[in-house]
Amino acid sequence: MNRDDDIRIAQEFRKRQNRQILAVAIALFLVLFAGVVHKRPDIFGAFSSSVLFGVQAVFIAAFIGFTAMNWRCPVCRNHLGGDINRRLCSKCGTRLQ
Ligand SMILES: [Zn+2]
């Protein structure tokens, strides 16, 4: 593998990493926001717990689905697991950053 490939892989990983961080932030925000809506029916109107639970379940499922698609090694498509700052792919050993 030459230097250009290394740079392209690092750029692709960086893009995936940024998308993943954004997805975590959005998922956390939505889950917290649903909690606030539940606690403050005076401001947001009364939603039943089952509706809010259903909405949160959809957010979480969407987040898991997004992660399964996005959080992969750019070279071998191996899922990268829980470490957002992973340096090497555990399967093919490609340097990611
Ligand atoms: Zn890999």
Q: What digits encode the pLDDT tens for the residues 31-42?
A: 888 888 888 888
Overall average pLDDT of the 71-86 stretch:
95
pLDDT band at 20 (very low <50, low <70, confident <90, very high): very high
Calculate how far, in angstroms, residue 76's C-alpha sits from the geometric centre of ligand 1: 4
Q: Are 37 and 47 in contact (CB under 8 A)?
A: yes
Calculate how far, in angstroms, residue 96's C-alpha sits from the geometric centre of ligand 1: 9
Calculate how far, in angstroms, residue 57's C-alpha sits from the geometric centre of ligand 1: 30
pLDDT band at 1 (very low <50, low <70, confident <90, very high): low
pLDDT band at 15 (very low <50, low <70, confident <90, very high): very high
- Whole-prediction pTM: 0.83
Return d(Cα 86, Cα 39) in angstroms, integer: 37
CA 68 to chain CA mean position, Å:
8
Residue 43: the pLDDT is 81
pLDDT at residue 87 greater than cutoff 90: yes
Calculate how far, in angstroms, residue 68's C-alpha sits from the geometric centre of ligand 1: 15
Q: Are 71 and 16 in contact (CB under 8 A)?
A: yes
Residue 11: in which H helix or E strand, if any? helix 3-39
pLDDT band at 55 (very low <50, low <70, confident <90, very high): confident
Partners of 95 in the β-ladder:
88
